Structure 1
Amino acid sequence: MNPPQGVALQGASVVLRPTADGDIETLGRIVREPEVAAWWSVPDDYREMLAVVADGEVIGAIQFDEETHPEFRHATIDIFLTAQRHGQGLGTDAVRTLARWLIRERGHHRLTIDPAAANTAAIRSYRKVGFKPVGIMRAYGRDYRTGGWADGLLMDLLADEVT
């Protein structure tokens, strides 16, 4: 579920906005970069994502999913950025921006994210937002580097912990 059409979320350095038809080719190229493809499969539909924009350029995409059952209400986040912009704090800013929106505007008290356990750069970024490790999910997802299975790290963030 995306924010209402036309709504953009402003971070410190990035803007998150609904994807447009013109973004599809760029996002397809980014997700196939070796440094990104190691952790991501090619999505079925980029229209369900938000474009991550920095300096007027689409540099990746971020998505969320919401569990709306009152007893288990929470949201999940996933993100990928072009390798050219890794290590610049833009992924951290994007995740923080979306996390704040999910908490403040959508009323979630808890968020989760589940990077590959070997994806130390992503884990470091998510920790900066306030996500904490919950546990290892064994053989959780495909390891696109080997074709086998990889462990995932379940991390969560409570509403009062977002930085």
Structure 2
Amino acid sequence: MDTNRTFTLVPPARLEGYGVRLRPWADGDLADLVALYDDPEMARWTPVASPFDTEAARAYLAGAQEGQAEGRKVQLAITTDGVLPLGEVLLFRSAANERDLELAYGVGPAHRGQGLAGRAVRLAAEYALREIRPRRVVLCIAAGNAASEAVARSCAFELADEPPVRRVSRGREVVLRTWRLRTSPLRTSRLPT
């Protein structure tokens, strides 16, 4: 594998495994986006607008489509039936190193505690390793986000020994720690329940 190359992200039509189906967002998903992202926990840990209303959902969907068209990112709805969005997983070039693929995720408040984030991250990471072949697959998680750190551990990610990543989100600086996917196969790791 050439670890010095950058990559262009091309969205899969669908990804399926571990009891989840990942699919691209559709124009008809605006109300579902609002239900997922208009939540205090999403506002606390993600850079999405807060409050997250229909207008914010339109802008978010337009940004997702623009990023996809430019080959910079892929945003996929997490579903169990291929239709109803329960959350989202994102794949994008890391700002810290464009040879790394960063994953991010969120699950709507009504759907937490079902292992959806872990299953979606596992599926997206396997897809990335198989099809995109980045130098590394990473997660950037705010210190104190215990739920996301638990997902990272359960999906074979380990805390990387590198300086924190600093980003500005809604006018405030956020300090994130980098987690890297271990080299051991994902399928041998314990799947979150």
* TM-score, scaled relative to structure 1: 0.81
> Is the CA contact (8 Å cut-off) linking 1:16 and 1:94 kept in structure 2?
yes
Question: How far, CA to CA, are the matches of 1:86 and 1:137 in structure 2?
Answer: 30
Runs of 4+ in 1 over 4 A off after TM superposition: 135-139
**Identity, % of aligned positions:** 27
Q: 1:51 to 1:2 in 2, by over 3 A?
A: farther
Moved more, 126-135 or 58-67: 58-67
Unaligned residue ranges in structure 1 (runs of 5+): none
The residue aligned with 1:151 is: 175
Q: CA deviation at 1:99?
A: 0.1
Cα displacement string for residues 83-140 of structure 1 (whole angstroms, at most 9, x for unaligned residues):
2211211100000000000001222352011011110101101111101001475582
> Is it true that 1:59 corresponds to 2:86 in the alignment?
yes
Q: 1:26 to 1:72 in 2, by over 3 A?
A: closer
Unaligned residue ranges in structure 2 (runs of 5+): 1-8, 49-59, 69-74
Give the CA RMSD over aligned residues.
2.6
| Pairing partner for 1:45 from 48, 63, 69 | 63
Cα displacement string for residues 41-71 of structure 1 (whole angstroms, at most 9, x for unaligned residues):
224624341111124420111111136xxx9
Larger strand proportion of the pair: 1
The residue aligned with 1:28 is: 34
Q: 1:137 to 1:22 in 2, by over 3 A?
A: farther
The AA in structure 2 aligned to 1:18 is P
> Is it true that 1:89 corresponds to 2:115 in the alignment?
yes
| Pairing partner for 2:157 from 131, 139, 146 | 131
Question: How far, CA to CA, are the matches of 2:98 and 2:88 in structure 1?
Answer: 26
Aligned residues: 156
* TM-score, scaled relative to structure 2: 0.70
